[in-house]
Amino acid sequence: MGTDLKALRLGQLRRGVVFLYGSEFADIDADRIGLSSGTTRASCASSAADYKPTAYVPTGAWRAPGERELALLRGEFGQDGNWVRVVRIPSNLLSEFEAVRRSIAEASSLSEARAAAVCPLSEIVLKRLATWTIDEGESLAGAGISVNLPGLPTVTDDQADGRFLGLHLDTWYHSAHQARSASPSRISINLGYENRYFLYANLCLADMQSALELTGNSRDVSSNQSPRSFYATFPRYPIVRLRVGPGEAYIAPTENISHDGSSMGQTRWDASFVIRGQFCANDWAE
Ligand SMILES: [Fe+2]
């Protein structure tokens, strides 16, 4: 117990949500995964004014994980709500997005790029995505293309006031926290022509609650606020940054893990197609 607590306080990774790397990739690229040196209140970071007062963001320079850390992050099999995956979208599916990708890339303002992103969803795309779900597409919902400014440490804002949320849980399904691992995941296809990033804590909500229980202070343990309590209690615990290249996608249980997207390093509009569903963890047929 004491050792576990000490390790968390020192920011040592624990095994939790596993990263599944598809067989379409030969091996993990050197800069596929980065780790932060911890998290901090956005109010202490440079762009504080744009964030909600309660927001947390990753801190420090991103570094490559060591061998032991990589072994803790990676897995071969993922339990419901406890795996993240990067996939390469087959070219015949990606080509369905080619016209909208180009219109967004050529837009000269954010509002123009967002207007270009509003378009009907191809039946071919929906049919193909349905084959990648465990329920033949029954759970597919919330399709749309999201466009953000380049160079943002985190991209998700509160639509009510435009301020960034920082690391957060999605709440499309309003599941009780015990049921969050069974909520649908989300696929997000990078429709831009540059790398974007998926940021996440490799500990799901239940893992964070268990970690907080080790401190003997479980005041917030039963609430969905536990990621913030976790970050406040264990500020050195690293956040994972996954590179998602153009034409690649991530799939993640965004109702069950604290996360955000990032457009750092991009020079053009950050664009991604997102849809929720009960996606399969295993390799997908072309
Ligand atoms: Fe989200």
d(CA 198, CA 162): 20
pLDDT at residue 138 greater than cutoff 80: yes
Ligand 1 mean position to 2 CA, how many Å?
A: 33
What are phi and psi for residue 226, nearest 5 degrees?
-60, -30
Three-class DSSP category at 71: helix
Three-class DSSP category at 179: helix
184 and 255 Cβ atoms separated by less than 8 Å: yes
Q: What pLDDT is recorded for position 283? A: 64
Ligand 1 mean position to 190 CA, how many Å?
A: 15
Q: How far is CA 184 from CA 27, 130, 177, 251, 278, in A?
A: 28, 13, 14, 10, 5
β-bridge mates for residue 21, sequence order: 86
Ligand 1 mean position to 1 CA, how many Å?
A: 32
Q: pLDDT tens digit string along 49-59? A: 699 988 999 99
- DSSP letters spanning 209-256: HHHHHHTT--TTTTSTTHHHHHHHH-TTSPPEEEEE-TTEEEEE-TTT
Q: Which two tokens stand for residue 92?
A: 């015949």
d(CA 257, CA 228): 12
β-bridge mates for residue 273, sequence order: 145, 189
pLDDT at residue 12 greater than cutoff 90: yes
d(CA 20, CA 283): 10
Q: pLDDT tens digit string along 68-119? A: 999 999 988 878 889 999 999 999 999 999 999 999 999 999 999 999 999 8
Q: Tell which residue, 231, 242, 174, 191, has the closest CA to residue 33.
A: 242
pLDDT at residue 282 greater than cutoff 80: no
Q: What pLDDT is recorded for position 172? A: 85
Q: What pLDDT is recorded for position 75? A: 86
Burial 140-160 (b: 16+ CB within 10 A, else e): beeeebbbbebebbbbbbeee
Ligand 1 mean position to 209 CA, how many Å?
A: 20
Question: What is the chain's length?
Answer: 286
Ligand 1 mean position to 166 CA, how many Å?
A: 9
The model's confidence at residue 26, banded by pLDDT at 50, 70 and 90, is low
Ligand 1 mean position to 8 CA, how many Å?
A: 25
The whole-chain average pLDDT of the chain stands at 90
